[in-house]
Every structure is written in C-alpha cells, then in structure tokens.
Amino acid sequence: MAKLKQLNRISDTVWEIPTSYKEGMRVPARIYSTEKLLQEMDEAVLDQISNVATLPGITKYAMCMPDGHFGYGFPIGGVAAMDVDQGGVISPGGIGFDINCGMRLVVTNLTYDDVKPHLKELVDKLYKRIPAGVGSKGFVKLSRSQFRDVVEQGAQWCVRNGYGWEQDLEVSEEGGRLKGADASKISDKAVDRGINQIGTLGSGNHYLEVQVAKPENIFDEELAKALGITIPNQVVIMFHCGSRGFGHQVATDYLQTFLKVMESKYGIKILDRELACAPFNSPEGQDYFSAMQCGINMSFANRQVILHRIREVFSDVFNRSPEQLGMNMIYDVAHNTAKLEEHVIDGTARSLLVHRKGATRAFAPNMTDLSPRYQGVGQPIIIGGSMETGSYMLMGVPSGEQTFFSTAHGSGRTMSRRKARKSWRAKQLQEEMAQRGIYIRSVSNAGLAEEAGGAYKNIDEVIAAAEQAGLSKRVVRLTPIGNIKG
C-alpha cells in the first residue's frame, strides 16, 4: 500500500490516519490490522475510512476492521459511532444495502462419522429445500399485510407461526426483533421485492455450510463447551444471508431522500455522495431508522425460516426429530446495522448510534443486552471464511471497548468478483474441493468461481489480527464438509 508511510503505527495491529491526512476530518481514522493484511487492503480503503471521519457527530475514531475492503460509502469492515445529541448523522452507506446480512450457527449431536455416509444426500436436500441465487423465492406465502407484520416482528413472528423454537429467540441478537421497526416507513416497491423472499439464501457471498469442530481446532475448551461444542468432531451448521432485495430497496429509497435534503435543508456537505446522510434526530433520519429496523427484522425472519427448513432436512435424513438431534442455536449475529447503544467516552456515558458495515457486534461479559445465557462469558461471534478454508466462533472481550465492541465479520475479499471469474473455473474448483472432502452445490458456475478461497484474505490471519488487537477471542475453528452457494 503506497500510502502506508502516511499512517501512524500505534501498535502491531493498530494504524492511525491523522486528521491532517484530509481536510474536513473531525477525528482520526484507525485500521485494525497486521502490516501484512494492511498491504493486502484496497488502496481505496484509506480514502473511504478518512471520508467517514468527516461525518457530523462522529466520536473518537472512524474505524476499519482487519477484513476491511472497498465498499459503498464506508469500506466493508467500517465502524463509526455518532453522538446523536451532538448532531450525529445516520448514513445508509454506513449500514449497507443488505441490511442485517448476518450469521447463524446451529449445533447437532452428530459427529463427522455419523454424517459422512449421508453428506451428499444431506447437501442435495438442503439445496432443494432452501432456495438460493438471484430472484429465488421462499415457500412462506404472505399477504402484503402479513409481510408488514413480519418486518415489524422479525423472528418472533416466525416462532409464533411454527417456524422455530422459543429458545431460538433467546440466543438471537436483539431477541430476533428490533422494536422500533415501523412498516409505514417502507415503500410499496420494498414490499414487492421482499414479500416472496423469506426463507431464501440469495447470491454473492451468501451460503449454507455443514461444518466439523475438530478437537485440534478448539482454542478454549471451556468456552466451547459453554457454547454447545461438547463432543469430538461435532457437526454444526452455519449460514450467512440477509434481507435480500427488501433491504436493498429500503437503502436505495432513503439514499435518494437524503441526497435531496442533506445540503439544502441541513447544510451537510460530504466528500462522497455514497455517504449521503441526515441528522439522526431529523424527521428523515428517524424515518430511515425505523425502515432500516424493518430490514433488520426481515433478515432475522429470513434466517429463522431457513433454520426451520434445515431442521426438517436433518430430521428427514437421520429419521430423528430436531430435538433428538440436538439442533440448538448457538447464536444469530447481525452485520450491516446501526444501533443506539450507550458507551463510555472519556468517563462519561453517551448515547451513540453505532454504524457497523460488514462488522460484528462483540459485547463483553456482563454487558446490557446480552442474552442471559451468555452474560457470564460474553457474546458469541460467528465469522465466516471462504467455502474452501474454514470459519470461526469467537467471543467478545472487555478490551473490545476500543472499537465500541466491534470486530471483523469475515475474511474479506482481496480480489474483485470479475477477476475471480477469470482466475478460476467452477468445474475444476468443485472437483478440487471434492478431493478435499467438501461437497458443494451452487446455483451458478460464475457465482462459484467468484467465491474461490483465493479471492479472499487468509481467515486465520484475519482472526489472529482481531485477537492480537484485543477485539475478540478465538474459541473454535470450523472446517467445511458441505456447502450450498447462491
């Protein structure tokens, strides 16, 4: 990275961009990364995160996580907290178009030896039962009125209607529902785009994966057991998806609104129109906040219905009920959100709107809003790697306070999708993965090539950087054996 010399090295994993780097920066920007990972980041990450540092109300630092790469407005991996009592803004570019793109992790009491003979049947049935790809439609048929209920009630609506267990809500971020959602703030077009997409994976980097927790990959046995990893070579299921076209439309609608009022009504000038914003306490800011929470709830509902289908498939293949198979959730974590949280700044508690764009909340033990189940140990953090490598479960730690208790959300791309399609052939990739014991089904060859492991940073290096920086703690590394790609 040519601009590396312009950064101040705070530690081996913290790099600071001073306010002198760019006119208008209200606070410094910080990148949490090893030097090696920093060199692999897009040059544009520095420009984007320093642009974020110019936004009204930003507190302490604009921050980028170890998996950071170029995004829309904010870099993916960007974190920024806005003081809502000091003119702090809300920005769709700091949340993302796929609102609450997130992760869910589910355990079983099956081992790799139990699953291996049935792996192909299992993945094929999951692929058939859980629609994936662009334009895919789910099996839950809703009226427009019912869909508006779903986006206000989230996963709670699903559980009440037979698509899950009450304890699923207890181990979901926010209990699977943000109560400030207001369906009157979403457009008819957003409803059109989302109404048939509950229970679908989508495309891009969204996936469903069958994984194994190998004994040699457990870093903290006591914590792993507290989370549900209790037997050698235990099989778990992880999946990654969001609010689909619904969240995209919500973001699009309000970006247009903000571009119209931002400067003319509120006198806010920005360096990049992709950072279009409005004061959080303005009518437009409040309307978007309510609509954005609908997007978060739609995504919680989407993942809840997908879990319901996963339980059905496992029950069908192994001729036992999901309860008998021990198919309990460890956690559901959200990426791409903005949430009102109280954080202590220079000894004073302040109400901050924390934007996390491609970043994971990582609360430490005994923090407010943690599930009672995890009060004593901290928040589980689910980090997806590439389909060829592995994924992680981490825990929040007290030293995460430095990033408003935020950490990475994945391994982070190092290569554009276009370049990846030119670099790998899907058929060959599929065969190579099969030789390594990973059976994969994909809707599209192009989509498969785009997600080749070589297009991403080394997940082990990203996780090590996050741990070294004090953002989160490793618990277990999970190895893929079966995968569905959109």
The residues that are catalytic are: 409
Structure tokens at 39: 């060199």
The Cα–Cα gap between 277 and 91 comes to 4
Radius of gyration of the chain (CA): 21
Q: What are the Cα distances from residue 455, in Å, to 300, 342, 419, 449, 471?
A: 28, 37, 9, 9, 25
Structure tokens at 275: 């950072």
CA-based torsion, 442, 383, 297, 58: positive or negative: negative
> What is the full DSSP assignment across 367-413?
-TTS-GGGTTT--EEEEB--TTT-EEEEEE-GGGGGGTSEE--B--B
Query: Which H/E stretch holds residue 9?
Result: strand 8-11
8 Å CB contact between 49 and 62: yes
Q: What is the DSSP letter of 364?
A: P
The Cα–Cα gap between 142 and 130 comes to 17
8 Å CB contact between 65 and 45: no
Q: How far separated are the first and last CA of the chain, in Å rounded?
A: 33
Structure tokens at 444: 């599209």
